[in-house]
Amino acid sequence: MSKISVKNPLVNMNGDEMARVIWDKIQNEIILPHIDLNLINYDLSIKSRDETNDKITTEAARQINKVKVGVKCATITPDEKRVKEYKLKKKYPSPNGTIRNILKGTIFREPIIINKIPKIVNHWNQPVIIARHAFGDIYRSKEISVKKKGKLTICFEDEEGNKEEKLIHDFDSSGVGLAYFNVNDSIYDFANSCFNYALIRNLPLFLSTKNTILQKYDEAFKEIFDEVYKKFQIRFEENNLTYQHRLIDDMVACLMKWSGGFLWACKNYDGDVMSDLVAQGFGSLGLMSSVLQSPDGKILKTEAAHGTVTSHYRQHQNGIQTSTNPIASIFAWSKALKHRGELDSNLDLNKFAQNLETICINTLNEGYMTKDLALMCGPEQKWVTTNEFFEIIKHKVEN
C-alpha cells in the first residue's frame, strides 16, 4: 500500500522513561510505515533539556507556533530527587508550562470512553472535557502568617502613586492571610480557546465560578465570557450549542447527575481538582488525553495526560516485560494528525487517524488490553504485555 503523503510538517517532541519507549514504538511501528510525514523532532528528554539549558523546550514551542501542530511525549518535571538522579545543572521547570506560556493556550483534558471498561461513575457515557484556566489565582498568590494582633490590608498603587487600600481583617490573635490576582488578557484568551474548542468538538460549554461571593474577581470571568460569547453566539446557535455560566457548586452537582457530553471551563484551582476527579470517575489515567489549544483555535499540541510511568520503566530497565497502556499516547498522535489533516484539507490523513482510533477502541472492546484496564474489568479479565498490545494494533493498522 502506498503511504499517505502530508504536505506540511508536524512538531514531534520526544520525552522520558516508559512514555518514551512507547513513543518510539508508536512512531516507528504505527505511524511512519503508513504516512510520509515531515517530522520536526525535538528531544525534550531531561538529558537533552539539561544539555541545552532547556533552550530546546523554547525552540520546540516556537516551532509549534509556526507549523501549528505538535505532539508531545510525557517528560520528567525534575524535583530534588531527579536533579540528583540525572546530575542536572538545575531544577528545570515543567516543559508543559514553558510551552503553554509561549502558545498562550488552554489545556483540555478528555477521557477516551470504552464501553467494555467499567467506569466508577457508571452513567458517564459521554466525555466530560475539562478546560483549566492555567494562570494566576492561588498558583501565583502570596501568603502571610500572622503571628500577633494587627491589621491585614490589600493595596493597589498606580503609576502615579495613587493608592486604593482595603482592610482584609483586624486580627485579635494569630492566623493566616492570602492575596491573589488574575489578568483580563489571560481570561480573554481562555474564553476564546473555550468557545473555539466547543465549536470544534460540537459540545455545549459551561463556565463555573463563585461570583455570588467574589462579586468582582469571579464576576470578571463571567463578564469576559459573556462578552466573548457575543462573537460566537451565531455559530453556537447554528450548531444547536449552548453556553451557560453556573455556580461551581451547582456545576459539581450537575456533573454527578448528568451523563457527560459537555465542555467545562474551570478556574485554575477548580480545573486542577476537577480534572483528577473526572479522570478517576471515567477510569484510568491511561485513557485520558490532553490537548493545548491556542485562543484562535488554530494551534494544537496534543499529549497523553499521564506521566512517564517511572514504575514501569524500572521494570523495563531490568528486562521485565511491562503492561503499559499506550492508548492515550496513540490518541495524542491521532489527534495531532487529524488537526494537520484539517488544516491541510488532507482527507486521507484524517481517515487514517480516525481509523487508528477506531482500531484502538475495538481492540479494547474485544478484550485485548493492558493490565491497568484489566484490573478495572475484574479478576476474569486477561491482559497482554506492552509489546503484545502493539503487535495487535500494528497488525490491524496494516490490514
Closest distance of CB 384 from ligand NAP, Å: 12
Question: HSE of 65 in the Cβ direction (CA atoms, 13 Å)?
Answer: 13
Q: How many CA atoms lie within 13 A of 291 on its CB side?
A: 28
Bridge partners for 289 per DSSP:
110, 304
What is the grid cell recorded at 56? 530546546
Q: Which of residues 345-384 bind ligand NAP (CB under 6 A)?
A: 370, 372
The region of 72-80, 127-135, 204-212, 339-347 touching ligand NAP under the rule CB under 6 A is: 72-80
Region binding ligand NAP by CB under 6 A among candidate stretches 108-116, 239-247, 269-277, 304-312: 304-312
Query: Which is closer to ligand NAP, CB of 261 or CB of 307?
Result: 307
Piece in contact with ligand NAP (CB under 6 A), picked from 106-114, 180-188, 246-254, 302-310:
302-310
What number of other Cβ atoms are within 10 A of residue 183's Cβ?
A: 12
Binding to ligand NAP (CB under 6 A) within 79-138 occurs at 96
Smallest separation (angstroms) from Mg ion to the CB of 249: 19
By the rule CB under 6 A, 75 interacts with ligand NAP: yes
Indicate which of ligand NAP, Mg ion, none lies near residue 285 (CB less than 5 to 8 Å, by partner kind).
ligand NAP
Which of 336, 347, 346 minimizes the C-alpha distance to 69? 336
Residue number, nearest CB to ligand NAP: 307
CA angle 73, 77, 80 (to 5 degrees): 150
Contact (CB, 8 A) for 54 and 41: no
User: Which one of residues 65, 88, 307, 385 is an interface residue with ligand NAP (CB under 6 A)?
Assistant: 307
Closest to 131 measured CA to CA, from 243, 301, 268, 235 = 268
Sign of CA dihedral 390, 108, 50, 307: negative
Q: How many CB atoms lie within 10 A of CB 57?
A: 25
Closest separation in Å from C-beta 313 to ligand NAP? 9
309 near ligand NAP (CB under 6 A): yes
Tell me how far apart the alpha carbons of residues 245 and 191 are, in angstroms, rounded to a whole number: 12
Give the up-direction half-sphere exposure of residue 263: CA atoms within 13 A in the CB hemisphere.
24
Instruction: Report the DSSP pairing between strands 175-179 and 205-209.
Output: unpaired
Give the residue closest to Mg ion by C-beta: 272
Pick from 310, 321, 362, 365 the residue near ligand NAP by CB under 6 A: 310
Binding mask 268-287 for ligand NAP (x = CB under 6 A): -----------------xx-
With contacts defined by CB under 6 A, how many residues of the chain interact with ligand NAP? 18
CA 16 to chain centre: 18
Candidate ranges 57-65, 71-79, 113-121, 165-173; the one touching ligand NAP (CB under 6 A): 71-79
The contact pattern for Mg ion, residues 272-301, with x = CB under 5 A and - = no contact, is x---x-------------------------
Q: Toward ligand NAP, which CB reaches closer, 86 or 188?
A: 86
Number of neighbouring beta carbons within 10 Å of residue 272: 16
CA 159 to chain centre: 38
Instruction: State the residues that interact with ligand NAP by CB under 6 A.
Output: 74-77, 96, 285-286, 303, 306-311, 324-325, 370, 372
